[in-house]
Structure 1
C-alpha cells in the first residue's frame, strides 16, 4: 500500500540531533493526519535501498532527516521520478536547507513546510547514474576531506580545521584539463568546483551566483595563490566576495569534464568518485518542498 509520506532518518546526524528531530517531525506529521512510514537505515546503502523501495511503492513525499548526506541519498532515489523531497535539517552543514530557506533549528516548522504543500522543480548535477544537489569539490577542498576521513581524532568540525591546516602545509597547485561544453582548458589551480547550487561546507559560497533552475552548471577555478592569500581569502567564501579575487575564474556550462591525477572528488559532502569525471546538468530533475521559491538567490547566513 502506498504511503503519503516516508520519513527517512540518519539518527546520528548533527551529533544526535537527527533522532530528536525525527521524533518532533513524526509527531507533527502524524498529528496533521498524514500517513507516515518511519524508516531508518543502518548505513547509507540500506538507507538508499529503503528510499528507492518507498518511491517504487508510489509514496507522495520522501522526507529526509539529517544533513546534506541524507539529502544526497534521497536525491539518488528521487531524481527524475516526480516524487517530492522534504527536508528536516539536522546535520552540520545543511546547505540544501539554506537553498530553500528552510527552518534549520526547528524540526516542527520544517515539517510544516512539507504539510503546506508548496513545491519547486529544480535542477540536479549528474555524473553517470549518480546525482548531486550542491557542489562537487575537486581540488584542495577534496584533499582536506580525504585527510579528515583518515583521522580518528578529534571529532566534529575541529577535525576538518586541523586537516585544512595540515593539507595547507604540503599542498601544491594541481594540474587540470577541463572540457567546458566542448572547449578545452589546461591549467594549474588550487581547486575546481562544479556547482549545481551556490554553496557547500556549511555556507561556503564557492559557486556564488549559481541558480537551481537555470539548466546550467557553474564551474569555478581558483588559480594558484600563496598560502597566505588562500588563508585571507577563505573568510570571503561565507559572503561570496571572493569573486573579486584576480585568481578567481567562473564558467557557466551545461556539461564539464574535469581531469586531474590522483584526486577523489566529494559532492554533497560525500565521497563521489575519482577524476576524470564528466558532470552535466539534469534540468528539473528534482521536486522539493519549499517555503521560499527562488530562495537560492538569497543569502542564508551560517
Structure 2
C-alpha cells in the first residue's frame, strides 16, 4: 500500500454503511385517526432512524393485496397493516411465503389476530413501535377455496359457514361503530332462528362424517370477540387446524352449544363436536353464508382449507 492509497479497513467501513431501513404502511383510510396516525408514524420513523415510510391507502376496489405487492416491489424491510382484520388478511395473502415480515397496527372492531397474538390494540403508535423494533414470529396461514374455485384465499384466525358467517353478513356497521364487538352479539341473537343444513365434513382426506349443522367454524387460533376461547387448545404455530361443528336440535339445542363450548366437559354434547387436522373439506346440501376472518364472502356449498405451517412472519414485541 502506498502512502496515498486509502486503508482497506476504511473502504470496508464505507461500503458496509447500510441505508436506513424502510417500512411500508398499508392503511384503511376509512378507519379513524388516519391523518394523526400518519404524522405520528412519520415522526416515529425519524426518531428510530428509519427512512420515511411508503404510505399506501387501501380502496374499496383493492383492500390491500395490490398495495402489499407494491410494498414488496419497493423492497421494504417490514409491511405494516393498519386497519381491521380484513386489511390484515389481504396483506397477509401477499406476504405469506415471502419472508418479509408483517407488523400490526389494529384499527378495526374485532382485531382478532392482534388479540390472539397479544399485540397492543389500544395504542396504534405503540403497536407501530413494536413493528419497528420487535422480533419476528412465524405463524401458520390457512389457504381456502370456496365453491371449487381455482382461486385461493387465506385466513389467519377463523373461517366459518352457516350461522357464524350469517352473523358477520348481518352485523350493522353503525352499531359496530357505536358498540364495538357487542354489535356481533346483537346480530347473533337476531340470526338464532334458522334451519339446519345437511353437511359432509372430511378431515385430512378421511371418510366424511354427515351432520345436520347450523355452523362449522375452522380455527387457526382460539380467541374470538369478547375474549371467548372457541378453541382453547388451538395454537397459531402448531400446523394444525381446529374445527367446531354446531348441530343444535331445536331451540333447546342451543343450551347444548353453550355447554359444549363454555362448559368444562367440551365435546360431550350432541350439539357440539371438535375435530383437528391439517386440511378439511365441507360440502353442504344447500347454500350457506361464508366468512374468512370476519369478511363476508357470499354464499356457497363447498369449502376446502389447508394449513401452511409457519409461512408468515409477524414483527411484534415478544
TM range (shorter): 0.7 to 0.9
Return the offset for 1:195.
Answer: 0.9
Matched, 1:108 2:125: yes
* Alpha-carbon contact 2:256-2:272 (below 8 Å) kept: no
Q: Using a 3 Å threshold, how does the CA distance of structure 1 residues 3 and 258 change in structure 2: closer, same or farther?
A: farther
Q: Match of 2:238, SS? A: coil
Write out aligned runs for 1:16-95 (5 A): 16-35=32-51, 36-43=53-60, 45=62, 47-95=64-112
Q: Using a 3 Å threshold, how does the CA distance of structure 1 residues 241 and 153 change in structure 2: closer, same or farther?
A: farther
| TM-score between both structures, scaled by the size of structure 2 | 0.80
Question: 1:269 maps to which residue?
Answer: 294
| TM-score between both structures, scaled by the size of structure 1 | 0.84
Question: 2:140 maps to which residue?
Answer: 123
Write out aligned runs for 1:136-175 (5 A): 136-148=159-171, 156=177, 157=179, 160-168=184-192, 170-175=193-198
Question: 2:310 maps to which residue?
Answer: 284
Matched, 1:259 2:283: yes
Mapped partners of 2:56, 2:45: distance in 1: 14
Question: 1:4 maps to which residue?
Answer: 22
Q: Which moved more, 1:282-291 or 1:152-161?
A: 152-161
Unaligned regions of 5+ residues in structure 2, if any?
1-18, 146-151
Q: Using a 3 Å threshold, how does the CA distance of structure 1 residues 226 and 117 change in structure 2: closer, same or farther?
A: same
Between structure 1 and structure 2, the one with the greater Rg is: 2
Write out aligned runs for 1:187-198 (5 A): 187-198=211-222
Mapped partners of 1:269, 1:37: distance in 2: 27
* Alpha-carbon contact 2:20-2:50 (below 8 Å) kept: no
Q: Could you say what the CA RMSD is over the residues aligned between the two structures, in angstroms?
A: 2.8
Return the offset for 1:225.
Answer: 4.2
Mapped partners of 2:277, 2:214: distance in 1: 20
How many matched pairs?
Answer: 286
Q: Using a 3 Å threshold, how does the CA distance of structure 1 residues 166 and 99 change in structure 2: closer, same or farther?
A: closer
Matched, 1:211 2:227: no
